[in-house]
Every structure is written in structure tokens, then in C-alpha cells.
Amino acid sequence: MTQLKNNKKLFGILASVAGLVLLLIFMEGGFNDKVEPGQTQQLLPSNQSKYLTAIVEQKQLDDMLAWPGTVHSKTVANIAPKMTARIIEIKVNAGDKVKKGDLIAKLDERDIHAQEHAAQAGLAGAMAQVERTKADEQRIKSLYSKEAATRQSYDVVVAAAKQAQAAANQAASAANEVKTHLDDTSLRAPFDGIVTKRLQEPGDMGLPGVPVITMQTTQGLRLETAVPANCASRYQTGLDVNVRIDTLGQKLAGQIDEITPEIDPQTRTQLIKVALPATDGLQPGQYGWLEQACSQHDALLIPSSAVQHIGQLEVVRVLVDGKPVMRHVRIGKTYADQVEVLSGLHAGETVLISTGEVK
């Protein structure tokens, strides 16, 4: 029983292959000795008004290439502590949008509070000393005016008052400095933007200059892509280019903003940065393509409406000695209302174009 099923299946496959071969032989003129192989003579429809003709054109077309890149912001900020303190809280994650002044992270401020109390106490003592020296200065000044105190005594209390005031000023500066350090325990967003990286976690030791998060603005975005040096040489700053953003399903008109002069010795590429227009949904980190014509090639073009599809075959009707001939062709890319013919036609030949349904 199994053998019978296998035989039926094999017979079906062979029949399908034989049918396809017969169709190909027919399309190639195998059943007509009066026409050349690869084309079949046809009678023009009685309603010829629904057909136009077009000449096969030969043109130079750009070979469009696409180089992958990533959307980055022109303004990037690494948010890092100005002091050494343990990180006790981080309010944001990668991808979060923040406003200017929003709290990003909080550092342990207990040591700063202790320093603040000590500084306030020192300032209070210095101010008390200023009050005492001022009182002494007023008293000696009164006695000196009545010639009840010597000039030397008066000069001593004046100097002491000045010294106390200087000490008070120094204590006030120290207290203000501690207050500034207390403000530094709160890391805040310097501008409106989006968090691109979270580099540390609560419990880590925050160090001066070591970023906790990285953020970018959502304005002034650029596509940064590495382009082979032989193609990058065709670019210049200010040149208008096309950028495709897959996430948005859009093509954007960009402009070359920056070209790094150095060529990467390993990849032989140059970094090109393309300024992008403000677009809804466009964000740092998205993937994009810089489209570029790096070379050209000769191509044969015919109107798309000249191509007919018979099963998997693509055919056109060509006028040969005033008679229509069906010819098998191979089609390439589409350019607006034209298609590129890879094989089957020659420049200058005439093809028929259908302008409507012919019955």
C-alpha cells in the first residue's frame, strides 16, 4: 500500500515537471519551425488602440548601497558625582525620559551632614568671638578718647576685632562649602533628554568623574555610520543624503554634518555623521541606514506595463519586422514606472505596452 502511494506521488511530480517543460518549449518556439528560438510570433489584437509602443532605453543607473548606523544625539552628558560617597538610590533606567532638574540619583549624605554641623558650630563660635572683640573695641575706643587707655591697648583690640572677623568669614565660607557638597549629593538632569545607559547600581561607591548614567537630548539627532573609505571619499559636509529608519518605516532627508578624517586601520572605514530633521518617534539608539550610490552601471529600461507574467515567467511583446513576437525576459529592479531588463532585450528594440484590458 505504501509503495502504491509513493508511486502515485512520483507520477504526480513527473507530470508537473513534464508540463513545465512543455510550457517552456512552447514559449521558446519549440513547436514552430518558422520563428527563432526564444520568441513566438503573435497576431496583434484586433483592438490595437489599446496598445502603445516604447523603445528599450539604455541608461546609466546608480548602484544604491546602504550602510548601517545608529542614531545618536549631538549633546551627550555623563552624570557623575563631584565627591566620593556611596550611591543609595538611582531614580532612572535606560530609556527613561527626564526633564531638566529631575532627580537622577542620591548619594549618602550622612558624612556631609556631620561636616555641616561641625561647620555651623565653628561659624557660631567665630561669630561669638567677633561680638566680644567688637565690644572690647568699643570700650577701649571710649577710654582712649578720654585718655584713659593707651594707644597700644587700643591698637591691640582693633587688631583682635579684625582677626575675629576674618576667622568668622573663613568659618562662613567653610559652612557654605559644606552646604554645596550637600547639594552635590543629589545628581540632577542638566537638560531635557533620554537616559541611554545606567552604569552603576545602588550600593556602589560614587567617585568623582565616574558616570552613574549617560543621557542625551532628543533634539539635534544624528545618524552615525562607518562607511568604506573608497565610498566615503564621495561625501562632503553639507551634502544632502537619504536616511532610512527601520523602526519608523520612514526615509528622512539628512545632511552630512561631520566626517572624521581618520580611516580605521582595521575596517578601512570613516565615521560619517548625518544631521537628521526633527521627526516624531525618532530617538537615540534607533537603527538606521545611510543610502548612497557608490558606483554606476549601464541598464536597459522599459515601462513596467510592458511586462506580462505567465506563471513564473516574465514576457514582453517585441515588434520584429512589424510583427509582435513574445519574448521571455529577466527583470531586475523597479525605478518609478520603469523596470530594468537583465536579459532578453537589446537597446533600441520596440516593445508593446498595454493601456487597458484587451478582450
Would you say residue 143 has pLDDT above 70?
A: no
Would you say residue 260 has pLDDT above 50?
A: yes
Is 162 found in the same domain as 146?
yes
The pLDDT tens digits for 35-91 are 333 444 444 454 444 568 888 888 877 767 888 999 988 888 999 998 888 999 999
What CATH code is carried by the domain that includes residue 230? 2.40.30.170
pLDDT at 4: 42
Number of domains in the chain: 4
- Mean pLDDT, residues 212-221: 88
Q: Of 184, 204, 236, at which residue does a domain stop?
A: 184
Q: Of 200, 216, 232, at which residue does a domain stop?
A: 216
Is 85 found in the same domain as 196?
yes
Is 307 found in the same domain as 180?
no
Is 142 found in the same domain as 115?
yes
pLDDT at 203: 92
Q: Give a yes or no: residue 342 inside a domain.
A: yes
Is 322 found in the same domain as 234?
no
Is 247 found in the same domain as 318?
no
One-letter amino acid at 291 equals: E
pLDDT at 178: 62
Structural domain including 126 reads 109-184
> 216 forms bridges with which residues in the sheet?
76, 194
Considering only the C-alpha atoms of the chain, give the largest distance between any 2 of them, rounded to a whole number of Å.
Answer: 146
Rounded to an integer, what distance in angstroms lies between the CA atom of residue 342 and that of residue 331?
6
Residue with cell 532578453: 344
Is 163 found in the same domain as 102?
no
What CATH code is carried by the domain that includes residue 193? 2.40.50.100
Would you say residue 283 has pLDDT above 80?
A: yes
Contacts of 269 (CB under 8 A, 6+ apart): 226, 227, 228, 229, 232, 263
Contacts of 250 (CB under 8 A, 6+ apart): 244, 279
DSSP 3-state assignment of 91? coil
Element housing 330 (H / E): strand 323-335
Grid cell of 221 as nine digits: 539627532
Rounded to an integer, what distance in angstroms lies between the CA atom of residue 291 and that of residue 243?
6
- Residues listed for the chain: 359
Q: Give a yes or no: residue 7 inside a domain.
A: no
Is 281 found in the same domain as 237?
yes
pLDDT at 119: 67
Rounded to an integer, what distance in angstroms lies between the CA atom of residue 24 and that of residue 21?
5
Check if the beta carbon of residue 117 is closer than 8 Å to that of residue 168.
Answer: no
Q: In the structure, what pLDDT confidence band is assigned to residue 147 with cuts at 50, 70 and 90?
A: low
Q: Give a yes or no: residue 204 inside a domain.
A: yes
16: Cα separation from own chain's centroid:
50
Question: Which pTM value belongs to this model?
Answer: 0.50
Lowest-confidence pick of 43-57, 167-181, 271-285: 43-57
Q: Give a yes or no: residue 329 inside a domain.
A: yes
Q: Give a yes or no: residue 16 inside a domain.
A: no
Is 223 found in the same domain as 179?
no
Q: Of 136, 166, 184, at which residue does a domain stop?
A: 184
Average pLDDT of every residue of the chain: 78
Q: Give a yes or no: residue 145 inside a domain.
A: yes
pLDDT at 49: 47
Instruction: Kindly state the percentage of the chain with pLDDT values over 70.
Output: 74
Would you say residue 248 has pLDDT above 60?
A: yes
What CATH code is carried by the domain that includes residue 318? 2.40.420.20
Query: Do β-strands 308-310 and 338-343 pair in parallel, antiparallel, or remain unpaired?
Result: unpaired
Lowest-confidence pick of 113-122, 127-136, 187-196: 113-122
Residue with cell 552646604: 179
pLDDT at 44: 46
Is 287 found in the same domain as 246?
yes
Lowest-confidence pick of 188-202, 251-265, 288-302: 288-302
pLDDT at 183: 80
pLDDT at 70: 92
Q: Give a yes or no: residue 116 inside a domain.
A: yes
Is 103 found in the same domain as 88?
yes
Check if the beta carbon of residue 328 is closer than 8 Å to that of residue 313.
Answer: yes
Q: Give a yes or no: residue 91 inside a domain.
A: yes
Q: Around Cβ 117, how many Cβ atoms within 10 Å?
A: 11
Element housing 191 (H / E): none
Lowest-confidence pick of 161-175, 211-225, 293-307, 309-323: 161-175
Rounded to an integer, what distance in angstroms lies between the CA atom of residue 263 and that of residue 269?
5
What CATH code is carried by the domain that includes residue 139? 1.10.287
pLDDT at 47: 47
Grid cell of 150 as nine digits: 593707651
With vertex at residue 232, the alpha carbon angle to CA 228 and CA 238, rounded to the nearest 5 degrees, is 150
pLDDT at 202: 93
Q: In the 8-state DSSP scheme, what is residue 38?
A: T
Q: What are phi and psi of 331, to 5 degrees?
A: -100, 145
Lowest-confidence pick of 59-73, 87-101, 274-288: 59-73
Is 154 found in the same domain as 43?
no
Grid cell of 215 as nine digits: 543621557
Rounded to an integer, what distance in angstroms lies between the CA atom of residue 234 and that of residue 110?
59
